[in-house]
């Protein structure tokens, strides 16, 4: 079985291998977990997928990616995205190699984070495909567009 690209990115950007559940999520190709909890392990996986999607078109001009979250989760998600960015930056400082390379990586990641949109109803009202999407805090029973419901990873169905 081939290693999902997000698994390699996880190890590179965060300086640690993904957990089993994160690996299964990356391998699934889904948009997010079917889980309403504010689980940090699952958030880390969805946040990394979100950043990876900003890199999809080009390393210099990443596209916008919307992380669709319930309004009750928005403040927590934004706070944890900032923490996720800080941890990533701290890992860059520990990387071996040329200082200029680490600096370029830091700038590229900062640009990627600027391209992330976090929201709920507004992003859900956009036509499918208008913005690349990930999701956090929803379950398959929520009233969601079918494309988003189908994109939720149900743990145990891997």
* Neighbouring C-alpha atoms within 13 Å toward the C-beta of 83: 9
pTM over 0.75: yes
Pairing between β-strand 132-135 and β-strand 116-119 as defined by DSSP bridges: unpaired
What are 38's two structure tokens? Answer: 């504010």
How large a percentage of the chain has pLDDT more than 90? 42
Q: CB of 60 within 8 A of CB of 37?
A: no
DSSP state of 138: B
pLDDT, one tens digit per residue, over 66-114 is: 899 999 999 999 999 999 988 888 887 777 776 677 778 788 888 888 8
Q: Domain spans of the chain?
A: 5-153
Cα separation, 102 vs 116, in Å, equals 22
């Amino acid at each position: 079985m081939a290693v999902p690209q997000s698994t390699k990115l996880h190890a590179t950007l965060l300086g640690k291998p993904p957990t089993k559940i994160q690996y299964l999520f990356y391998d699934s190709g889904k948009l997010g977990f079917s889980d309403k909890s504010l689980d940090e392990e699952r958030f880390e996986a969805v946040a990394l997928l979100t950043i990876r999607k900003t890199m999809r078109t080009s390393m210099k001009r990443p596209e916008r990616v919307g992380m669709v979250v319930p309004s009750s989760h928005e403040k927590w998600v934004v706070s944890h995205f900032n923490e996720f960015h800080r941890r990533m930056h701290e890992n860059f400082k520990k990387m071996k190699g040329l200082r200029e390379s680490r600096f370029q990586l830091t700038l590229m990641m900062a640009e990627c984070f600027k391209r992330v949109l976090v929201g709920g109803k507004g992003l859900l009202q956009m036509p499918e495909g208008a913005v690349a999407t990930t999701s956090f805090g929803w379950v398959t029973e929520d009233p969601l567009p079918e494309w988003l419901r189908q994109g939720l990873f149900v743990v145990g169905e891997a």
